[in-house]
Amino acid sequence: MFQGGCLCGASRYEARGDPINVRVCHCRLCQRAIGAAFNARALMPIEAVTISGPVSRFNSSPALARGFCQICGTALFSERVGSGVIGLTCGSLDEPTAFRPTAHMWTSSKQDWVKLDDGLPQYPERPPR
């Protein structure tokens, strides 16, 4: 089990089991939603995650809802509608170094100043499942 939450502490989550995968997304939607050059996230089965506190969702596209704390605005997760999975933001983990990314995706939108020299696979768009 691992846990995470927002900056102010009002919104929390708890996850059971290991992530399906841990990837770094460089798409423009993630950049804008997170307010950073990329979004590192741990993908989990939705039934393995319990979320509590004042959380709101915003659809950044018809298929993707993003969850954030209503009080402080911390980005906590993204949820692809109907997929049965939820991506927890690694920056919101209580132990942010608990998981190492295994790939970079949407590198076609990567910021020019970001240098990817970690040896991980890179996908210009969505990687194979």
Tens-of-pLDDT digits for all 129 residues of the chain?
999 999 999 999 999 999 999 999 999 999 999 999 999 999 999 999 999 999 999 999 999 999 999 999 999 999 988 899 999 999 999 998 999 999 999 999 999 999 999 999 999 999 986
How far apart are the C-alpha atoms of 57 and 122, rounded to whole Å?
A: 29
Task: State in Å, rounded, how far the first CA of the chain is from the last one.
Answer: 24
Top-tier CATH class for 2-123: alpha beta
Domain extent listing, the chain: 2-123
Q: Which residues contact 121 (CB under 8 A, 6 or more apart)?
A: 102, 103, 104, 127
